[in-house]
Structure 1
Amino acid sequence: MSRLSSSSLPVVLEDGPELKVSLPLVPCSKPLEPVSAPSSPSWRGMRIAIVVNGSRGDVQPMVALAQKLQEHGHEVIIFTNADSVSTCNACGIDAVSVFADCCAVIQESGGMSGDFVSGVSRANSTASKWLRSNPGACAPVAECLQGFQPQLVVCGTLAVGTCIRYEAQASVPAVYVFLCRELLEFFSDVLCLQPERPCFLATNPLLDSGPLQANIRQTGTWDLPDYTEVPSKLEDFITQKGNGGLAMGWGSMIAFGLPPEKMLALALRVLKSLQIHGVILGGWAKLDELAEQLANGELQSIGDDWQELAKFAAENVCFVAEAPHAWLFPRCSCVVHHGGLGTTQAALRAGVPGVITPIFGDQFFNASHVNRLGVGVGLEQPLPELTVENITAAVRSAWDMAKTAAEFGATQISSGLEEATNAIQEFMLLHLRSGLWDMRLRELEAFDSKL
């Protein structure tokens, strides 16, 4: 049994708003140094479970890690949301549905807003309703883990409760992955679980710098290569209109208090105000489908200017559900988005200034980092409070930062996947294969028995 004792931490869970989990407050040892791949092949063929619950921004870095681990000969299964299984499979990774459909949850809850705890708590309530309404759509995660019998669990932030429980029951170590510093600090006590293990902050140190606890590796981002094709109508649109337009979209976010049809109207009014062509990515708000309704005269509710917006859109806007960011963003003069880590990083890599209109959680921090670097404009107000004038002015300011953004894009560090994979393999070789993990567990149990 893993040693779980000493302090209490409120953990926001996938199956409820809060659980008190006891964790040890144990000082960490000296900082971990970067590692290279072990020279011995004896770490190969390990069974690794990746447990991740959340939106595309949460899941895709884990898919990228799974691909890298598979390349090194490990057997990997991702246990994730019902709507993420197809993404995993498309990338060559086996996956099992164990959490509610995240897209449906965000849509049915009316969107996300505010801080991490309140936003996730509201989504958890909707997720419970979704699971009751869709019996059989998800398998029990604990039973799935027991069936797979992993030798290591890699845990995404919103699955912390699941992985702590499994480690306590099966003595199988979990390593924790954080995609933003805010959540790392929120779950800081998890970092001191004993026996020690590496934990990861998968962010760009140029974007997110600061001191870290000794056993945290800040690797850089874990970027999933584009696995979707460029829609032919998008290629035709760029060929006709040329480069230099705007890309706009909010990915896997819907803003609580701003219905998707209002998001569409806001985007169109910004483009019309700037008198520039643009690409609007539909995302989970399904803005591309709403645009079809607007063109058919079925969306008059967006305002008295609906006909003007419909005419402007028909002549100047391409709507697609999604598009490869690595292809699209370099062809644009500015990217207006929600500030999710993946989209923010894609804009930075493209060397294109961005305007962040944050909705939830770490997006506000990413907005402030973009301001600090001078590579775009991060707005302080959440999207529902922003006006056409706010965003239009931000785009004009961002255009003035094009040179700085291009220079920053040229300095981007490589993906952190290789360092993360090597660190995981070193841990498996030196702590699991060697028997050191089991020995440390016995020592901790013997120590506890004397208390």
Structure 2
Amino acid sequence: MRVLVSAAGSHGDVLPFIALGREFAARGHEVILYANPAFRSYAIDAALPFVPISTVEAYRTLFKETDDSNPNKAFKRVGKEIADICPAYYRAMKADILPGRTITVGNSLLFAPRLLRETDGVPCATVHLAPSVFQSNLSPARLAPHWINARTPRLMKRLAWWMLDTMFYDPNITEPLNRFRATLGLHRVERIFRSWIHEADCVVGMFPDWFAEPQDDWPKHVVLAGFPLYDHGEQVPLPRSLDEFIEAGPPPVGFSAGTATATAHRFFKASIEACQEAGLRGILLSPFPEQIPASLPGNILHVNYAPYSALLPKLAAFVHHGGIGSTSQALRVGVPQLIRPVAYDQFDNAQRAVHLGVAKEVLSKKYSGRVVATALNELTADETIRRRCQQVAMRLANGDSVATACDTILDRLGEMMPVPSVDTDRVTAGYLGR
């Protein structure tokens, strides 16, 4: 079977799909990965045929134009990017369809697989990486610092979802999608986050039920596979300078604003101040060095990137933005978390981590050297949190969520078609050179 896997976004958004692609390929299927060329080396390391979409320059520009101090503006910019890249994904994937023996896999906001289902009849799977994508009135995801919850009156919940759809999702996501649908001769779709994005032939949630318990008003056919927990760590060791820094003193604290953020100057400045005030060592993680002060004190090190599976076990605590990839990797190794959510799914992920007893939260507007120093001192000294971190890590020690996801997708989509044998060596040789 040929499996067309589309991915876009930050490392936390793309690496899970590389993990899925590797698993499909290991089972003897033809896999082609479609992503920004910033991830070409990751695809090559995973031996996945790769089709580049857009450019590295456009990828980096996007993150420079999504200011974390203005999440509403950032959401609009992300919506524009989704609209801009959708036709390229659609055309590239359409060109690789083998009628009767192809399936597609994509994330919540990459709509090309869904469109190909309608135009070409190709079975498709949607993979949701975080639970915030489900609009529930029973246990609403937290989508802002102060948002509706299970105790909010039902009328207020309905009003909140209506406002979210009307002010954000419809103009920034749904309307651009409908404009492209019109060029394909497809009918309009409405309020897509209520049901449409969950209407693929197969829907998988890449998180466990103890992190987000399925609600009675979630789609019934969703299968929760667990966190993907793939970060390229098998191929990329820690940089020597980072290893030497870690070994030179007590465990440091890691600070990350996410790989998709290039405007977090104030976050890193306050993080340095927190380390100075608390007497801690710090590692600043960012692929955008322009966010980092030119001169750093001796107890602070900046690195562009480090695989979390290798780095996080060596930290005293991990301060991050609450992306689902960062959150789950920290849960996996049992490191205490201080989460500074800014936008998207981050508030919901942060709340769930706090409820698990493994994290504290500091909102962006309160993130200062003094506040963070106090929070880190409390976090690293709290034995209850540390024990709870280890308990949660043990829950993630067994099981293979990527295999579970692939089983689900293949079971549900594979039965929809005949599957002739394919020459995977030929496909791999052809696409790695693209």
Determine if contact 1:370/1:378 at 8 Å carries over to the other structure. Answer: no
Sort the Cα spacing of 1:49 and 1:337 in 2 relative to 1 into closer, same or farther, 3 A.
Answer: same
Sort the Cα spacing of 1:272 and 1:99 in 2 relative to 1 into closer, same or farther, 3 A.
Answer: same
Q: CA deviation at 1:320?
A: 1.2
What secondary structure sits across from 2:410 in the alignment? helix
Determine if contact 2:207/2:224 at 8 Å carries over to the other structure. Answer: yes
Aligned to 2:89: 141
115, 124, 128: which one aligns with 1:178: 128
Matches within 5 A, 1:300-319: 310=296, 313=297, 315-319=298-302
**Structure 1 alignment gaps of length 5 or more:** 1-45, 132-137, 296-309, 436-451
- Residues 319-328 or 98-107, more deviating: 98-107
Aligned to 1:106: 62
Q: How far apart are the structure 2 equivalents of 1:184 and 1:90?
A: 33
Q: CA deviation at 1:385?
A: 4.6
What secondary structure sits across from 1:318 in the alignment? strand
**Correspondence 1:409 to 2:409:** no
Matched residue type, 1:396: N
Determine if contact 1:113/1:360 at 8 Å carries over to the other structure. Answer: no
Q: How far apart are the structure 1 equivalents of 2:419 and 2:246?
A: 56
What secondary structure sits across from 1:336 in the alignment? strand
Determine if contact 1:57/1:342 at 8 Å carries over to the other structure. Answer: yes
Sort the Cα spacing of 1:341 and 1:323 in 2 relative to 1 into closer, same or farther, 3 A.
Answer: same
Measured against aligned partners, the alpha-carbon deviations of 1:429-451 in whole angstroms (never above 9, x if no partner) come to: 3222289xxxxxxxxxxxxxxxx
TM-score normalized with structure 1 length: 0.71
Determine if contact 1:223/1:415 at 8 Å carries over to the other structure. Answer: no
Aligned to 2:348: 365
Sort the Cα spacing of 1:344 and 1:262 in 2 relative to 1 into closer, same or farther, 3 A.
Answer: same
Aligned to 1:426: 411
Q: CA deviation at 1:188?
A: 4.1
271, 276, 280: which one aligns with 2:275: 271
**Correspondence 1:53 to 2:12:** no
Aligned to 1:235: 243
Q: How far apart are the structure 1 equivalents of 2:75 and 2:49?
A: 27
Aligned to 2:195: 189
Measured against aligned partners, the alpha-carbon deviations of 1:47-73 in whole angstroms (never above 9, x if no partner) come to: 111122212111110000000000000
- Residues 355-364 or 100-109, more deviating: 100-109
What secondary structure sits across from 2:302 in the alignment? strand
Q: How far apart are the structure 2 equivalents of 1:157 and 1:126?
A: 14
TM-score normalized with structure 2 length: 0.74
Q: How far apart are the structure 1 equivalents of 2:73 and 2:67?
A: 12
**Correspondence 1:89 to 2:44:** yes
Measured against aligned partners, the alpha-carbon deviations of 1:353-402 in whole angstroms (never above 9, x if no partner) come to: 100011221111111011111111123x2x25522233222222322122
Pairs aligned (count) = 352
Q: How far apart are the structure 2 equivalents of 1:49 and 1:267?
A: 41
Sort the Cα spacing of 1:197 and 1:146 in 2 relative to 1 into closer, same or farther, 3 A.
Answer: closer
Matched residue type, 1:52: A
Measured against aligned partners, the alpha-carbon deviations of 1:288-345 in whole angstroms (never above 9, x if no partner) come to: x834xx22xxxxxxxxxxxxxx4xx2x2122211112122211111101111111111
Q: How far apart are the structure 2 equivalents of 1:65 and 1:152?
A: 13
Q: How far apart are the structure 1 equivalents of 2:35 and 2:24?
A: 17
Sort the Cα spacing of 1:327 and 1:431 in 2 relative to 1 into closer, same or farther, 3 A.
Answer: same
Determine if contact 2:66/2:78 at 8 Å carries over to the other structure. Answer: no
Q: How far apart are the structure 1 equivalents of 2:126 and 2:337?
A: 30
Determine if contact 1:356/1:367 at 8 Å carries over to the other structure. Answer: yes
Determine if contact 2:208/2:225 at 8 Å carries over to the other structure. Answer: yes
Matched residue type, 2:302: F
Matched residue type, 1:176: T
Q: How far apart are the structure 1 equivalents of 2:206 and 2:129?
A: 5
Identity value in percent: 20
Q: How far apart are the structure 1 equivalents of 2:49 and 2:127?
A: 20
**Correspondence 1:340 to 2:323:** yes
- Bigger radius of gyration, 1 or 2? 1
Aligned to 1:22: none
Q: CA deviation at 1:159?
A: 0.9
Aligned to 1:301: none
Determine if contact 1:245/1:278 at 8 Å carries over to the other structure. Answer: yes
Sort the Cα spacing of 1:200 and 1:273 in 2 relative to 1 into closer, same or farther, 3 A.
Answer: same
What secondary structure sits across from 2:195 in the alignment? helix
Aligned to 2:333: 350
Q: CA deviation at 1:267?
A: 1.6
Determine if contact 1:339/1:367 at 8 Å carries over to the other structure. Answer: yes
Q: How far apart are the structure 1 equivalents of 2:323 and 2:198?
A: 28
Q: CA deviation at 1:184?
A: 3.7
Q: How far apart are the structure 1 equivalents of 2:270 and 2:15?
A: 28
386, 390, 406: which one aligns with 2:367: 386
Q: CA deviation at 1:139?
A: 9.0
Q: CA deviation at 1:127?
A: 7.6
Q: How far apart are the structure 2 equivalents of 1:406 and 1:96?
A: 40
**Structure 2 alignment gaps of length 5 or more:** 136-191, 421-434
Matched residue type, 2:403: E
278, 281, 284: which one aligns with 2:285: 281
Q: How far apart are the structure 2 equivalents of 1:168 and 1:127?
A: 19
What secondary structure sits across from 2:32 in the alignment? strand
Sort the Cα spacing of 1:153 and 1:113 in 2 relative to 1 into closer, same or farther, 3 A.
Answer: farther
Matched residue type, 2:104: V
Aligned to 2:222: 216
**Correspondence 1:155 to 2:106:** yes
After superposition, the CA RMSD in angstroms is 2.7
Matched residue type, 1:55: S
What secondary structure sits across from 1:87 in the alignment? helix
Q: How far apart are the structure 2 equivalents of 1:120 and 1:271?
A: 31
Q: How far apart are the structure 1 equivalents of 2:254 and 2:122?
A: 44
Aligned to 2:253: 246
Q: How far apart are the structure 2 equivalents of 1:280 and 1:323?
A: 10
Matched residue type, 2:289: K
What secondary structure sits across from 1:433 in the alignment? coil
Determine if contact 2:334/2:392 at 8 Å carries over to the other structure. Answer: yes
**Correspondence 1:165 to 2:115:** yes
Q: How far apart are the structure 2 equivalents of 1:361 and 1:275?
A: 33
Matched residue type, 1:254: T
Aligned to 2:209: 205
